[in-house]
A = this chain, B = another copy of it.
């Protein structure tokens, strides 16, 4: 342990806490740092060329796979709020990558669908995205990749994420 880490722990131990769980801290810290690096790298090195953010990309991916999806479900799938979906689909619509339509059976509902242009973008972009994905994960062996996915999946499930 580095001396500065020791100092940090001493500071934290003075607080009114039952205990200081260093393993839990490491889990949270590493998860977030990894995700941050992942997102930044993808946005800078893959998505920037298409003017898409990580979330825009993930929404466009959902539309590509699912064809036509309720706004509400897009929010759930991407893990962001409904207003964010409104904003992003608006941006995607301006770029003519998707369009919106209203359900006539229940006029409260709005569906979002991908355009041919959007499909073209994804067909071009996805292979590049996946290539990076593979590169990033390849620091680990296949067995380790399965292991880390499994553990994260358990965390996601137990915490309802």
Partner of A140, one of B7, B11, B151: B151
CB of A109 closer than 8 Å to a CB of B = no
Number of interface residues of A (CB under 8 A): 62
Partner of A31, one of B16, B20, B38, B159: B38
Interfacial chain B residues near A39, Cβ < 8 Å: 32
Q: Is the CB of A20 within 8 A of B149?
A: no
Interfacial chain B residues near A154, Cβ < 8 Å: 139-140, 144
Q: Is the CB of A137 within 8 A of B15?
A: no
> Which chain B residue shows the least CB distance to A17?
B127
Q: Is the CB of B65 within 8 A of A8?
A: yes
What's the number of copies of this chain in the assembled complex? Answer: 2
CB of A23 closer than 8 Å to a CB of B = yes
Chain A contact surface mostly: helix
With A23-B142, A130-B20 already in contact, the answer to whether A155 and B34 are too (CB < 8 A) is: yes
Q: Is the CB of A145 within 8 A of B27?
A: yes
Interfacial chain B residues near A161, Cβ < 8 Å: 33-34, 36-38, 41
CA distance A133 to B80 in the complex (A): 21
CA distance A133 to B28 in the complex (A): 7
Q: What's the minimum C-beta distance from A98 to chain B, rounded to whole angstroms?
A: 17
Interfacial chain B residues near A2, Cβ < 8 Å: none
Q: Which of A49-100 contact B (CB under 8 A)?
A: 54, 64-65, 79-80
Interfacial chain B residues near A36, Cβ < 8 Å: 35, 79-80, 161
CA distance A39 to B79 in the complex (A): 10
With A17-B127, A23-B149, A34-B161 already in contact, the answer to whether A11 and B142 are too (CB < 8 A) is: no
